[in-house]
Structure 1
Amino acid sequence: MSDPFGRAVRDHHRDERDEPLVQRDGDWTRDHPVEEFYFGEYAVDDEADEWLASRLDGPLLDLGAGAGRHALYFQERFETVALEVSEPLVETLRERGVEDARRGDMFALREQFDRERFRSALAIGTQLGLAGSMDGLRRFLADLAHVTASDATAVLDCYDPEREGIEEMLGYRDDPAPGLASRAMWFEYEGEASDVLVFRLFSPDRVREAALATDWTVEDVRYGPDEDAVHYRIALEKR
């Protein structure tokens, strides 16, 4: 499978990236901010980061760990396992000092980890949308419940299709169903294009609905960084 995203992030880490990583939806393009999104040092130095860190404990499962921004911070405090589907990103994680970086699929957790293996989970990067549907979201939450302890917590993020301004997002696709929409886009780097990525956008109420069929309940929702942001983080806890 073509992996321009993973290669671009790895090349950036190795100071070998001479071309932009481009996000595209037809003729609509933008340069993806690799340095800003993946290589700034994570620190708990404001209220939003305190909100996130206070909900996590070890062992922690970092899903879609990217270049390891969160994993590098949390592994100094408790056991952290970083999971990535991209081999170049796994290489990047290890080269940057992530102690337990593994290649794997966040949508096949039961096949990869024992029951109640983790105390908390983190999935930052809106890859939750790759669940693809409400059924897919329910399956993911059920699998995440399987590999986490009875008193576990989790923090996930997504874009809210009910927020004003969401239609300006690259790749946005409207949906008549309340609280749902889609986003279709792909990455290009050094003349190589990825497969089209189709994200399902779930409102917080839709995540609550999916969680009802699992052991999870929604504990809190935070939008940011601005009050009118379409991006949100959602904190879950076991019932």
Structure 2
Amino acid sequence: MKDLFGKAILDYQTDNNPQNLVTETSISEEDEMSVAYLFRNYSQMPQIEQKALQLSKGKILDVGCGAGSHSLYLQEEDFDVTAIDISPNAVEACRLRGLKKTVNTDVMAFGDEKYDTILLLMNGTGICGRLSKIGIFLQKLKTLLNYGGQILLDSSDIIYMFDEDEIPSDTSYYGEVIFKITYKGESELPFDWLYIDYDTLKTASEANGLNCDRIMEGNHFDYLARLTIKE
């Protein structure tokens, strides 16, 4: 991976001629994304993200932290928060922004400590990639939870993007997309990304020993869910 997403974040943080990211998926055309949006403060965040931060408690792990805006808010609120991301450039930007605990790692390879809250925001299930991997993904997150801990994640049901005759067959899940990123004329290798509807998430959670509750719904087919370990 060229880490173009992280490069855009670091360019913005260091004022190195940042430009918009160009994103495209297997079910949508090219669209421009302002990198500045990743640096939003609490008042600029969607209500779902604000709610997740309000519900955060104890020792917190922010998975896929990106530019670190969620972690920075929590740190300013005196929480013990660790921000992790697979992007070395994004993690460097987080450090430059003043985050005290940052780790450049894939969550699947992370596991030295346990947490009271695990955050996966901005479609946190995306990093799972494929629905076939959701069980392994959830089991890994369970190993990182303290007793009484919670996983707070948001995602979207993207079935609205399909006509009835376009929905994939039973052999595939419509929320699986291939993502492409271009930045400053360079293209990243395509990667898998998962949008998961709430009912499918709930079924997968219960199959892996987790309770799943929908905390709130957003304005555009998105939702916030809380997962806890079944007693």
Which of the five TM-score ranges fits, normalised by the shorter chain? 0.7 to 0.9
**Distance 1:220-1:34 versus aligned 2 partners, 3 A rule:** same
Distance 2:188 2:51 in 1: 34
2:219 is the counterpart of 1:234: no
2:146 is aligned to 149
Alignment of 1:9-158 (within 5 A): 9-25=9-25, 28-36=29-37, 38-43=38-43, 48=48, 51-76=51-76, 77-109=78-110, 112-114=111-113, 117-158=114-155
Distance 1:40 1:195, change over 3 A: same
Amino acid corresponding to residue 75 of structure 1 in structure 2: Q
TM-fit CA distance, 1:135: 3.6
SS of the residue 1:16 aligns to: coil
Deviations 1:79-138 (A, max 9, x none): 1000010010010000001110110102333xx323xx1011001122412313334111
AA partner of residue 215 (structure 1): G
Q: Which one-letter code corresponds to 1:106 in the other structure?
A: V
TM-score in terms of structure 2 length = 0.86
> Separation in 2 of the partners of 1:61 and 1:88?
19
Paired residue type of 2:216? R
Give the letter aligned to residue 209 of structure 1. T
Q: SS state of the match for residue 113, structure 1?
A: coil
Aligned counterpart in structure 2 of residue 190 of structure 1, from 181, 184, 204: 184
| Native 8 Å contact 1:44 1:53 kept in 2 | no
Alignment TM-score, normalising by the size of structure 1: 0.84
Q: Distance in 1 between matches of 2:50 and 2:155?
A: 19
- AA aligned to 1:130 is I
Moved more, 42-51 or 7-16: 42-51
Q: Structure 1 9/130 Cα, relative in aligned 2: closer, same or farther at 3 Å?
A: same
Separation in structure 1 between the aligned mates of residue 193 and residue 203 of structure 2, nearest angstrom: 18
- The number of aligned residues is 225
- Matched residues in 1 for 2:209 and 2:43: separation? 31
Query: In 1, Cα distance between the equivalents of 2:185 and 2:209?
Result: 45
CA contact (8 A) 2:9 2:90 kept: yes
Provide the rounded CA distance (Å) in 2 between the counterparts of 1:235 and 1:119: 12
Q: What amino acid maps onto 2:112 in structure 1?
A: F
Deviation (angstroms), 1:17: 2.5
The structure richer in helix per residue is 2
Residues in 2 aligned to 1:50 and 1:185: alpha-carbon distance in whole angstroms = 26
- Paired amino acid for 2:24: R
CA contact (8 A) 1:131 1:199 kept: yes
Report 1:209-224 matches (<5 A).
209-224=203-218
Q: Match of 2:42, SS?
A: coil
- What residue ranges of structure 1 are gaps of 5+ in the alignment? none
Amino acid at match of 2:224: R
**2:222 counterpart letter in structure 1:** H
Residues 1:133 and 1:200: Cα distance change in structure 2 (over 3 Å): same
Offset at 1:197? 1.9
Distance across 1 between alignment mates of 2:92 and 2:40:
18
